[in-house]
Structure 1
Amino acid sequence: MSWFDESRLDDERALTGIDLRLRTLAESGARVRREAGDADEAIAQVVARSEDQARPRAVIAAGPDSRLLRAVLEPWCPVPFVAWPGQALPGWAGSLDLVVVLAPDGGDAGTASAVAEAVRRGCQVVVACPSSSIVADHAAGRWTTQLPTTTGDQLATAVVMLNYLHQIGLGPSAPPEEVAESLDAVATACSPHRDLAVNPAKMLAIALADANPLVWGGSVLAARAARRVAESVRRSSGRTALAGDAEHLLPVIEATRPRDVFDDPFSDDGGELRPMLLVLDDGADDPVLRQHRSRLLGAADERGVRVEHLTAETGCEVARYASLMLSGTYAAEYLRLGLVEV
């Protein structure tokens, strides 16, 4: 059994215990800048070479991290785009196609196998991975370009690849500096040195302390950020945290017992963890999204379910995604800090 001690969120001694994790979060922007700077020369070379080549028939994102590229590229890419997270490639993939691979640590054997198959089939291959890794070893080939990475950071590695795809006209603009600045802004706002009265992550942690969060993001990228935030909450607290589309979350909200102001908070029934709706808003707006948001908020109001918001409305869509994900991760770490076993 655990209870939440919010005084720990401003306790310097307690904060020292999670200093390494908070420092890792605070360095997110620096990792994006480092990866982008290290890959600049390699990107310039592959972009120059692509000027003499025809536009690929299709783009295939291979490996387990391909879903992030799909979330960004699928609505934008001017040629067919396929995310292929397995250990092989689609049977039709060949020399007319571009295969892009994110391998932040370079040690996944399945990703190495997919890269080797792409090389064998004569595909144009661009892989972001550490230079000394099994993925890099399997990527050697005439039509292969390696974008060197060193930090093992999934987001930073994705930004490097998206920067390359934008420069060859196959992806939207995702300037690394813009993404890094967005991450820096979150790190400043959520710093452990800012007390909970003005710290959005600490305030969200307090809201999460007595709830089972339902995390919703309306756009494709906000929905992906919602899944990552829910994962962070589960890891930090061991509690239920569900991310999903509106049709998945609505039944949970509608099944919630209406709040009774006369409940005894110390009784077994009155002290249960109630759902809390956490809305991730990246500024996307369309009629379907508005309808889903209205249904969720209406159901939450009817059942007395608390609603919290995380917003990111400036910068490119990748910068907004990064901001939402990092804000939620900070809140999860403060939640971990405040929970005390009894």
Structure 2
Amino acid sequence: AGACPVLRLAPTGVAAAPGALRWALPGWAGPVDLLLIATPDGSEPGLRLLAEQAYRRGLTVVAVLPRRSALGEIVDGSRGLPLPLATPPEREGTVSPWPFLVPLLGLLDRTGLIAADEEAIERLADRLDATAERCGPVTPTGANPAKSLAVELDESLPLLWTEGPASDAVARRLVRLLAARAGRAALTAALPEALTAHAALLSRPAETDSGDDDMDDFFRDRVEDTSGPRPRVVLLRTRTADGLTAAPAVRELAHAHHVPLTELALPEGQDLDVLGELLALTEYTAAYLSLAGQS
């Protein structure tokens, strides 16, 4: 598999509504570059303007979007490549990645960036089915990694510390899901920088049991307690290029500050399978925390 630099184009606008967002190409973008658009809608005016700008500057445009959309017509008419979604995504606060998975994997395989032939996609589908069985609602908490993680994250401030590019993507996804679906805050940082970036969060005074010597604390008005949730470090690791790991330093720091630590086991298998399983785990975990908030 090859490699190439990837730049995410962040939108601007006066509101978060799709019709108010606009995107702009960087000044250096030209005929040797590829513009990849992925949208569950296809009617956004800003994306249509972006596709037209890319055509004028000679970029190749590929769009993963619903069939028979306004953006798809523009991309097709400008010698671009519209890739239809397998199934329409659900209308929700955060767009699910699963309808985009097969079209994007096919594109990346054809461009040589990753190896994702038909056999690899079938293997990934089997892996996701197995993950759904382990993380589904009928599986008890003790044997369910998503329920177990949700229980540990409940009433805490998750600090997601990552190693490896795949784990970075998974952590960012989990932060968005927790905010959008469960209304919960979480922070993420890559190791080893996380050891210093979040150090002040670990240094908050611990809530310890002081026995009979502090009865005033026992009878304090907890309604007025503004201390907030206690931090919990979540160590999320995938393979790194050099094989080095800061995991021992993470354990030592968490122990020194009496901060609970959750280590997510690194799944076995190919990188694509590992990424798919971890993304599925985040979906289930956020769903269970959302249900907990409604009870």
Question: TM-score, normalising length from structure 1?
Answer: 0.66
Separation (CA, whole Å) in 2 of partners of 1:188 and 1:265: 43
What's the counterpart of residue 173 of structure 2? 228
Provide closer, same or farther for how the CA distance between residues 107 and 309 of structure 1 changes in structure 2, counting only shifts above 3 A: farther
Residue 221 of structure 1 aligns to which amino acid in structure 2? A
- Per-residue deviation, 1:222: 0.7
Cα deviation 1:219-255 (Å, max 9, x = unaligned): 1221121121122223344333112234345324431
Answering whether residue 60 of structure 2 is matched by residue 124 of structure 1, we say yes
1:332 to 269, 286, 294: 286
Listed as ranges, the matches of 1:209-248 within 5 Å are 209-246=154-191, 247-248=193-194
What's the counterpart of residue 195 of structure 1? 140
Give the conservation status (yes or no) of the 8 Å contact 1:221–1:321: yes
Give the conservation status (yes or no) of the 8 Å contact 2:42–2:66: yes
Residue 88 of structure 2 aligns to which amino acid in structure 1? T
Give the conservation status (yes or no) of the 8 Å contact 2:150–2:289: yes
Separation (CA, whole Å) in 2 of partners of 1:265 and 1:237: 30
Cα deviation 1:300-342 (Å, max 9, x = unaligned): 111111111223433432332222122122122222223466x
Provide closer, same or farther for how the CA distance between residues 113 and 217 of structure 1 changes in structure 2, counting only shifts above 3 A: same
Provide closer, same or farther for how the CA distance between residues 266 and 272 of structure 1 changes in structure 2, counting only shifts above 3 A: farther
Percent of aligned positions with the same letter in both sequences?
Answer: 28
What's the counterpart of residue 166 of structure 1? 109
Separation (CA, whole Å) in 2 of partners of 1:272 and 1:95: 52
Residue 173 of structure 1 aligns to which amino acid in structure 2? A
Provide closer, same or farther for how the CA distance between residues 226 and 166 of structure 1 changes in structure 2, counting only shifts above 3 A: same
Secondary structure, aligned partner of 1:192: coil
Answering whether residue 242 of structure 2 is matched by residue 320 of structure 1, we say no
Residue 199 of structure 2 aligns to which amino acid in structure 1? P
Listed as ranges, the matches of 1:1-342 within 5 Å are 76-77=2-3, 81-86=6-11, 87-141=23-77, 143-149=79-85, 150-152=87-89, 153-169=96-112, 171-174=113-116, 175-246=120-191, 247-248=193-194, 249-258=197-206, 260-262=208-210, 268=222, 273-284=229-240, 286=242, 290-291=245-246, 293-339=247-293
Secondary structure, aligned partner of 1:84: coil
Residue 273 of structure 1 aligns to which amino acid in structure 2? P
- Per-residue deviation, 1:285: 6.2
- Per-residue deviation, 1:139: 0.9
Provide closer, same or farther for how the CA distance between residues 230 and 92 of structure 1 changes in structure 2, counting only shifts above 3 A: closer
- Per-residue deviation, 1:270: 11
Secondary structure, aligned partner of 2:77: coil
Separation (CA, whole Å) in 2 of partners of 1:224 and 1:159: 18
Flag the structure with more relative contact order, 1 or 2, with Cα contacts below 8 A and sequence separation at least 6: 1
Aligned residues: 263
Secondary structure, aligned partner of 2:143: coil
Separation (CA, whole Å) in 2 of partners of 1:111 and 1:133: 12
In the alignment, structure 2 segments of 5+ residues that lack a partner are 12-22, 90-95, 212-216
Cα deviation 1:142-185 (Å, max 9, x = unaligned): 5312111133343442542232232232x012333233223222
Separation (CA, whole Å) in 2 of partners of 1:298 and 1:307: 10
Cα deviation 1:114-150 (Å, max 9, x = unaligned): 1122223333322211122222122133531211113
Give the conservation status (yes or no) of the 8 Å contact 2:159–2:188: yes
